[in-house]
Amino acid sequence: MSAPVLRVRNLRKTHSDGTEALRGIDLELGGGMYGLLGPNGAGKTTLLSILVLALEPTAGELLYRSPDRDLDASRLADRSTIRALLGYLPQDFRPLALLSGREYLEHCASLRQPSEPRSARRARASDLLRSVGLEGAAERPAGKYSGGMMRRLGLAQALIHRPRLLIVDEPTAGLDPEERMRFRNLVAEVAEHTSVILSTHIVEDVEATCPRLGVLWNGRLHFDGSPADLLRRATGKLWRLPEQAPLPPGAETLGMRAAVLGHERLVRAEQAPERGTAHTPHLEDAYAALLSELGGAAAIHSILEATSDASVASSSA
Amino acid sequence: MKSWLEFLRAEVLVHLRSLRGRVAIAAYLAIACTPAILAGRAQGGDLLLGGSTYAAEVLTFLPLLSAALAITLGLDAIVRERRSGSWSVLTLTSMSSAGYLLRRWSALLALLLPLSALPLAVAAASASLNGAARGPLGNFVWPWLLFVVPAVVGASALAVGAGTIADGIVPAAILVALLATLAPTLVNSVLFVTRRHVTLDASASLGTLAAIERTGRYQYALMPHPFSPGRLALPASESPQPPAQIAAAAISASALALAGCLAVLTTSTAFLRRSARDLPPWKPRADHPLRTLLALAARLRPRYAPDPRLERADRLLLACGPLLLLATFGAFWWRDAHYRSRMEAEHALEVSGWPAPTPTAASPIAARVALTLVSTLASNASLRSVGEITFRNDGTAPLSHLAFTLNSAVDIEWLHSDHGTATVERRLERVSVNLQPALAPRASVILAAELCGWPETIDFALPNGPRWTFERRLRAYRGASQSSDLTDLARSRTVPAASGQRVDLGWSDVFLLPRFTSWHLVRADGFAGGEIDVLPEEGSAPFTDLALSSNSPPELFVADACGGAGRARLDSACRMPLRDWRLAGAPLVPLDGAPVVFAVLPQHRAAAERLADDLSGLADLRRAAWPALDASAIAPVLLEDSPPWSGDPRQAMGRWWDDEYFEDVPRSAGRLFLVPERWVVSGRRLPAAEVVTDSVVSALLGRRPLDPHDRPVIAGLLRDVVKRRLGHGPAGGATLGGRPIEISNYQFSLLDSGFSELLNWPARLAAVTGELVARAGDGAVAAGFEAFLQGSADAGRKPGTLAELIDAIGKARGDDLSSFARDAFSTGALPELGFDDVHSARAGRGFVVTGRVANHGTGEARCPIAVTTEGGIVEARVIVPEQGEARFTVPTSAQPQSVLLDPDLTCFRWRGQWVERVDFEGFQ
């Protein structure tokens, strides 16, 4: 792993209503792309909000590495520099609707790099518009962009000041498959020279782009490693079972799948169930197995919901 | 600066592209420019409007409209950003919250301020297109700068601040409403403990009521209305407005409110919420009686919690709000304390009666002053005067004390006496001079002095009511039982007597004015039966030979009551009471070729030239008024008189708000006449008779000192005599009339009248004059006056009395008028006559008309009766005693047709419900 850009120690957050959103996160990030997986309510957005300094943690340490020194988010004097290191594409990103894409990018550039000459800011905006494929729509009001175009513009604004760490929150939710793939590729290109945290509940996005991922569940980071490590954890524990076959004790259904003859269940069990066939897991299966292991039915329910979201997006496209 | 320009660019683009923004801006411009268009429609006819009127019409609405636009765009700008979802990106910028807010707000201002100036540009264009004279640029710029700009600054700061804090239009509106209502009440409740009050009425500062009033007038103007025609434009003064005074009024009126708005903006730095605070859990107990409310509060708490991570710049800006409020409040406190101590000092002086007045035996026989006016500020002028005043002791006892009035803002540099030592003691405007040794009878003393200062008067912001004196107003202030009864003393103001715009100086502003009347308060009738303590006005006005040489700034054209006039330099001399002397001036230009001096504002030259015929007629009228007087010696000097700055923010616009202003008569002092600016622009004829009457009366009264008690009646009598000569007597002749119940309004002594008789005093005097002229004849009255006023040579310096005058007129007529004078002047007698039992009968070859005239009123009446016959009119005269009757028998040669009582209205009486005409049968 290259030199870390971010170090998180025992990060905790308890909301004012008493909900414990984060229960002690430890994380160290270097270059490249890091996928943050977790079902809805796992604490992803809370973690990202703390990382971009929009939310104060209840406890813990948050350090960023600038080219020359460590920056502590709890130190007031460092926060401005930290903000300059960060690029952020929030889940609900919307540009100023009445500005064109180019105007919006230039406005963002002026906010983030006020000392840069206007010509340089313009050139940077043009480059980014080209990179994200919005060159042809640059003069159109940003409010009239499609969802995918808006995300791409969001990515461009997050990169306008050449951040060291790009944080992207659920960027492909609601996008059609073509747009999802396009966006994934864009982010992957960025990750070649910038550290990226990709927060999502769509496993496919992580699988396609992230050499390292973390799984967040119930405010804790339960897994931090490569996709291969996650797959290894699930190997030998997943079985396909005909729909009518009885579920052995201790086994949990992860989902239903179409089979040659009707449907079959994907189950997690330590021992091979009767009539069960060993299943070679994909990353999504491994992720589901992990969540099942962690949270049982509730976790399975969450992941089923998330999977159906992605399926709906695919089918509607 | 670069990022600020980007902010500005984004702000302009967003508002111009947004439908809401476009509608708001278009509506603002349409409404704000409409008054300028309407003023163009009013141009022409008798009304010659200048450019300032166009500005004033627009400025009536501009503060209010601009504030509304600022609030609309300010809230829209902030809320749009939050609601659109772009905020989460903007929070990641590395600039501080303070930097972001200030850039955002100033970008909004940079959009709003030019917009707010646009209607004034339209006003200037409309004025130019409609041929209006170009008004002073300052009349456009200063009110905009001092009323519109603060309104925009305050409203936009409030909108951005409240929008940021409340995070939504509805919560922001609630917050603004709370701040506007609760904050002033709370502040004033606390201040009431210290008997202080601040004005935080934003609505008044924005001229809301004025705008509503004007809108109502437009309705009248645009829709034909039988009672109030209304005007599409009320002429505004073209006189340059005094920026320092407007600034003082604007600051005292709105500084605290503005500081409050700015404090809301700076406070909002903590509520930009780029970082959400880590709030400890707060869960209301399940059995708590207010659990629903507490749960709601707990839910809203994170949304409205301040930013926990404020940077240094943020904290600095956050501190600026309270500091600004504190500084403004400190300034308020200082002004309040300043005026409070001054007010208390004036009151203490008023109740003390200090010092004793100058004895009437001390005659100010001569005064000469060299005066220099220096206009160092556009709104104020200093003066330096060196002069001397000569007193002669006309009494029989030695004289050791003199008292003077001197403007309290004018200092005495030195004062010397040519007779021993003069010791000066001074309290505010009262000066006491003690002579050592005392001045012996018939001896004279010259007091020489050098004075300098900035003459001004203080207008205390005290509660006011009809005819309230300073003492009464102060009593109301001190007796306030609740906060709302108090006034904001810090809004008191000083009114300069001389400035680059306007000079209006009395003798006490330039030199020592002898005070002969006691300074002790006297109890008098107030309004509606109440009693008030009144500081008596100077009642003694001895004539003095006065000489003045003055230097003033070249832009000022000045004239004085002696008839002197000129630019930069003025030399004049005359004999008149120092009390009545005035020096007036303004940046005026005299009309070329006019038979008398008539100086007007350059913008009104064309309007004034319409009065050329009136000016030419003045000379003829002077001859007709009093042929014995040398016409050149009483030639009047006329100056156009602009309304003084009143301190009312509405008048920042130079407005004449009420139509009654158009009815004002010119003010006069000696030969100086101040013709209201509104007369000139509205095409009214010059009040030539008034001008000539005043100049003749002033010249004649200057011949002899008058008894102070009788002086108003003598002067009024002379004025009415002259007016009648000029054909301007009252339509009722010598009679008064009305509903029977109103007779008591006119039954009072002219010599000893009170406040309540002030209204009808001129009418009774005019009626009395009518009978005097009718009874004695115009020639005898004039001769009587000449003889009376000549009396000073015969009777030394004995002041003339009314009895002496009536006696002189009687002698000139060869009649005894003393009983008439007693009834008419000393008592409230008012005869009320009617015919009774009137018959006509044949008598020999002719006819005879008999009857009675009954007097139902008071006082003796001597009235003519006239019998009309086929052959002409036969006249007779009856003398009817009080509550009595007089029989008359009038023989005629032709058959009588009717008999009339006092057909020419030459008899002083009340015309009530009694019979004044009898028509005989066959002739009705």
CA-nearest of A289, A275, A271, A315 to A231 is A289
Q: What integer pLDDT is reported at residue B646 of this predicted model? A: 67
Judged by CB atoms closer than 8 Å, whether chains meet at B309 and A76 is answered as: yes
Query: Chain B closest CA to A166's CA: distance in Å?
Result: 12
Question: Residue B923 and residue B589: Cα distance in Å, rounded?
Answer: 64
Give the DSSP letter of residue A137: G
Residue B316 contacts A, CB cutoff 8 Å:
no
CA-nearest of A176, A170, A128, A126 to A152 is A128
Contact B67, B154 (CB under 8 A): yes
The residue assigned the tokens 């980007």 is B6
Which residues, other chains included, contact A60 with Cβ-Cβ below 8 Å and sequence gap of 6+?
A8, A9, A10, A11, A12, A22, A24, A25
Q: Which residue has the higher pLDDT, B79 or B258?
A: B258
Question: Residue B827 and residue B862: Cα distance in Å, rounded?
Answer: 17
Q: What integer pLDDT is reported at residue A313 of this predicted model? A: 42
Q: What integer pLDDT is reported at residue B262 of this predicted model? A: 94
Question: Residue B850 and residue B611: Cα distance in Å, rounded?
Answer: 55
Judged by CB atoms closer than 8 Å, whether chains meet at A54 and B274 is answered as: yes
**pLDDT, tens digit (0-9, with 9 covering 90-100), for B695-737:** 888 788 877 778 878 888 999 999 999 999 888 888 888 999 8
Residue A16 contacts B, CB cutoff 8 Å:
yes
| Residue in B92, B95, B299 to test binding to A, most A beta-carbons within 10 Å | B92
Which residues, other chains included, contact B662 with Cβ-Cβ below 8 Å and sequence gap of 6+?
B656, B678, B679, B682, B684
Decide if pLDDT at B647 tops 70: no
**pLDDT, tens digit (0-9, with 9 covering 90-100), for B744-778:** 889 999 998 877 788 899 999 999 999 999 989 99
Lowest model confidence (mean pLDDT) among A125-129, B42-46, B338-342, B810-814: B42-46
Residue of B nearest to A54 (CA): B275
Query: Chain B closest CA to A157's CA: distance in Å?
Result: 8
Decide if pLDDT at A131 tops 60: yes
CA-nearest of B832, B824, B831, B830 to B805 is B824
Question: Residue B254 and residue B924: Cα distance in Å, rounded?
Answer: 72
Query: What residues pair up with B905 in beta bridges, in sequence order?
Result: none
Chain A residue numbers touching B300 (CB-CB < 8 A): none
Query: What residues pair up with B549 in beta bridges, in sequence order?
Result: B370, B571
**What is the band of A268 on the pLDDT scale with cuts at 50, 70, 90?**
confident
Q: What integer pLDDT is reported at residue B36 of this predicted model? A: 92
Average pLDDT over residues B179-193: 89
Q: Diameter of chain A by CA atoms?
A: 71
Question: Residue B108 and residue B204: Cα distance in Å, rounded?
Answer: 24
Q: What angle do CA B702, B708, B712 make, to 5 degrees?
A: 75
Q: What is the DSSP code string of B597-631?
A: EEEE-GGGHHHHHTTHHHHHHHHHHHHHH-TTS-G
CA-nearest of A45, A52, A115 to A82 is A52
Query: What residues pair up with B548 in beta bridges, in sequence order?
Result: B369, B572
Contact B128, B36 (CB under 8 A): no
Lowest model confidence (mean pLDDT) among B205-209, B475-479, B527-531: B527-531
Q: What integer pLDDT is reported at residue B246 of this predicted model? A: 80
Chain B residue numbers touching A57 (CB-CB < 8 A): 278
Which residues, other chains included, contact B425 with Cβ-Cβ below 8 Å and sequence gap of 6+?
B355, B431, B432, B433, B434
**pLDDT, tens digit (0-9, with 9 covering 90-100), for B326-378:** 999 999 999 999 999 999 999 999 999 999 999 988 989 999 999 998 865 55
Q: What integer pLDDT is reported at residue A311 of this predicted model? A: 46
| Percent of chain B whose pLDDT exceeds 70 | 93
Residue B300 contacts A, CB cutoff 8 Å:
no
Q: How many contacts does A have with B, using Cβ atoms within 8 A?
A: 120
Q: In the sheet where A238-242 sits, what is the strand order?
A: A252-258, A263-268, A238-242, A277-278
Provide, for chain A, the percentages of residues in helix, strand and coil under a 3-state DSSP scheme, each rounded to the nearest 5: 40, 25, 35
Query: Chain B closest CA to A299's CA: distance in Å?
Result: 26
Residue of A nearest to B279 (CA): A16
Residue A228 contacts B, CB cutoff 8 Å:
no
Residue A99 contacts B, CB cutoff 8 Å:
yes
Contact B637, B672 (CB under 8 A): yes
**pLDDT, tens digit (0-9, with 9 covering 90-100), for B426-461:** 999 999 999 999 999 999 999 999 999 989 899 899
**Which helix (H) or strand (E) element contains residue B681?**
helix B677-681
Question: Residue B150 and residue B137: Cα distance in Å, rounded?
Answer: 19
Mean pLDDT, all residues of chain B: 86
Write the residue in B85, B298, B301 that is nearest to A92 by C-beta. Answer: B85
Q: What integer pLDDT is reported at residue B924 of this predicted model? A: 39
Question: Residue B783 and residue B700: Cα distance in Å, rounded?
Answer: 13
**pLDDT, tens digit (0-9, with 9 covering 90-100), for B373-402:** 886 555 667 899 999 999 999 889 999 999
Q: How many helices (H) and strands (E) does chain B have?
A: 25, 32
Decide if pLDDT at B796 tops 60: no
First vs last C-alpha separation in chain B: 96
Question: Residue B131 and residue B51: Cα distance in Å, rounded?
Answer: 9
Contact B864, B875 (CB under 8 A): yes
Q: What integer pLDDT is reported at residue B170 of this predicted model? A: 87
Query: Chain A closest CA to B205's CA: distance in Å?
Result: 35
- Specify burial of residue B341 (Cβ count, 10 A radius: 0-12, 13-18, 19+): exposed
Phi, psi of A166 (to 5 degrees): -105, 130
Judged by CB atoms closer than 8 Å, whether chains meet at A84 and B94 is answered as: yes
Write the residue in B14, B88, B95 that is nearest to A111 by C-beta. Answer: B95
Residue B92 contacts A, CB cutoff 8 Å:
yes
Decide if pLDDT at B320 tops 90: yes
Phi, psi of B917 (to 5 degrees): -145, 135
Which residues, other chains included, contact B11 with Cβ-Cβ below 8 Å and sequence gap of 6+?
B77, B104, B107, B108, B110, B111
- Which of A116-130, B207-221, B681-695 is the most confident on average? A116-130
Residue B298 contacts A, CB cutoff 8 Å:
yes
**pLDDT, tens digit (0-9, with 9 covering 90-100), for B552-609:** 988 899 999 998 999 989 999 988 889 989 999 999 999 988 888 899 999 888 888 8
Contact B400, B434 (CB under 8 A): yes
Judged by CB atoms closer than 8 Å, whether chains meet at A76 and B312 is answered as: yes
**What is the band of B900 on the pLDDT scale with cuts at 50, 70, 90?**
very high
The alpha carbon of A92 is separated from its chain's Cα centroid by a whole number of angstroms, namely 13
As given in the structure block, the two tokens for residue B22 are 């476009």
Chain B residue numbers touching A114 (CB-CB < 8 A): 2-3, 6, 95
Length of chain B: 924
**pLDDT, tens digit (0-9, with 9 covering 90-100), for A49-82:** 999 998 899 999 999 988 788 899 989 888 888 9
Q: What integer pLDDT is reported at residue B923 of this predicted model? A: 44
CA-nearest of B877, B869, B886 to B904 is B877
Q: What integer pLDDT is reported at residue A315 of this predicted model? A: 41
* Conformational region of residue A20, where left means phi above 0, alpha means psi within -120 to 50, and beta covers everything else: beta
Residue of A nearest to B15 (CA): A98
The residue assigned the tokens 């005495």 is B412
Residue B794 contacts A, CB cutoff 8 Å:
no
Average pLDDT over residues B880-902: 92
Q: What integer pLDDT is reported at residue B795 of this predicted model? A: 46
B555: helix, coil or strand? Answer: coil
- Which of A292-296, B224-228, B668-672 is the most confident on average? B668-672
Amino acid letter for position B709: H
Question: Residue B509 and residue B168: Cα distance in Å, rounded?
Answer: 58
**What is the band of B224 on the pLDDT scale with cuts at 50, 70, 90?**
low
Average pLDDT over residues B14-28: 91
Judged by CB atoms closer than 8 Å, whether chains meet at B84 and A96 is answered as: yes
Q: Evaluate whether ipTM surpasses 0.95.
A: no
**What is the band of B532 on the pLDDT scale with cuts at 50, 70, 90?**
confident
**What is the band of B650 on the pLDDT scale with cuts at 50, 70, 90?**
low
Average pLDDT over residues B12-40: 91
Query: Chain B closest CA to A111's CA: distance in Å?
Result: 6
Question: Residue B276 and residue A63: Cα distance in Å, rounded?
Answer: 19
The alpha carbon of B640 is separated from its chain's Cα centroid by a whole number of angstroms, namely 16
Chain A from 124 to 143: CB within 8 A of any B CB: 141
Decide if pLDDT at A283 tops 70: yes
**What is the band of B68 on the pLDDT scale with cuts at 50, 70, 90?**
very high
Write the residue in B17, B280, B308 that is nearest to A98 by C-beta. Answer: B17
B496: helix, coil or strand? Answer: strand
